[in-house]
Amino acid sequence: MAVSCIAGVVNCRIRAKERGVDAAAGTTIFFFLLTAILFLAFGWNKLHMIWVLPVALFTIPFLVAKKIPIASPIALSATRIFQKMILVGIKPKIPDETAKIEDNKEYSESDEVNDNKDAALQPHEENKAQKAKNERIEKYKKIRATARNLTRNIMKYAPKFVLIKAAGDLNMRSPKGVFVFDSEEETNYLMDRCFYDIYWQDKSLIQHFIDTDEYRQLSEEEQTIVKGMRTTYYSLFEITDVNPSEATVWLKDLLGDMAYIVTDLSMSLTARKGGLLATRIKQIEGIYMLTGAGCPFEEEHKEVLLEGLKRKTMKKGKKKRHRELQKSDYSAYFFRQYKRISGIGFMTIGNEEE
Is 178 in the same domain as 323? yes
Is 16 in the same domain as 165? no
- Cα distance between residue 349 and residue 354, in whole Å: 11
Q: CA 160, 166, 169: angle at the middle one, nearest 5?
A: 140
End-to-end distance of the chain based on CA atoms, in angstroms?
103
Domain boundary among 86, 102, 122: 86
Is 178 in the same domain as 281? yes
Is 301 in the same domain as 181? yes
Is 186 in the same domain as 267? yes
| Coil, strand or helix at 203 | strand
| Stretch 102-127: mean pLDDT | 53
**In what order do the strands lie in the sheet containing 287-297?**
259-263, 248-253, 233-243, 276-284, 287-297
- Cα distance between residue 353 and residue 205, in whole Å: 13
Q: What confidence category does residue 296 fall into, taking pLDDT thresholds of 50, 70 and 90?
A: very high
- Cα distance between residue 197 and residue 188, in whole Å: 14
Residue 99 maps to a domain: no
Render 311-340 in DSSP notation, one character per residue.
Answer: -EEEEETTEEEEE---GGGHHHHHHHHHHH
Q: What is the pLDDT of residue 288?
A: 94
Residue 166 maps to a domain: yes
Domain boundary among 42, 62, 86: 86
Q: What is the pLDDT of residue 35?
A: 72
Residue 253 maps to a domain: yes
- Cα distance between residue 156 and residue 158, in whole Å: 6
19 φ, ψ to 5°?
-120, -15
The larger pLDDT score, comparing residue 116 to residue 238, is at 238
Residue 32 maps to a domain: yes
Is 100's pLDDT higher than 50?
no
HSE, CB side, 13 Å, CA atoms: give it for residue 309: 18
pLDDT per position as a tens digit, 309-345 = 876 655 655 566 656 778 889 999 999 999 888 544 4
Count how many domains the chain has. 2
Residue 345 maps to a domain: no
Is 156's pLDDT higher than 60?
yes
Q: What confidence category does residue 240 fall into, taking pLDDT thresholds of 50, 70 and 90?
A: very high
pTM here? 0.60
Is 65 in the same domain as 150? no
pLDDT per position as a tens digit, 166-212 = 999 998 887 777 788 777 788 889 999 999 999 999 999 999 999 99
CATH of the domain at 190: 2.40.50.140
Residue 56 maps to a domain: yes
Is 61 in the same domain as 164? no
Is 300 in the same domain as 152? yes
The larger pLDDT score, comparing residue 5 to residue 37, is at 37
Strands (E), the chain: 233-243, 248-253, 259-263, 276-284, 287-297, 312-316, 319-323
Residue 267 maps to a domain: yes
Give the range of the structural domain holding residue 184, as residue numbers without chain letter.
140-340
Burial-class residue 38 by CB neighbours within 10 Å (0-12, 13-18, 19+). exposed
The larger pLDDT score, comparing residue 73 to residue 105, is at 73
| Stretch 252-258: mean pLDDT | 91
Q: What is the pLDDT of residue 111?
A: 47
Instruction: Answer for the pair 261, 301: CB distance below 8 angstroms, yes or no.
Output: no
* Mean confidence (pLDDT) of the chain: 77
Q: What is the pLDDT of residue 325?
A: 77
Is 171 in the same domain as 248? yes
| Stretch 8-25: mean pLDDT | 61
Beta bridge partners of 45: none
Residue 311 maps to a domain: yes
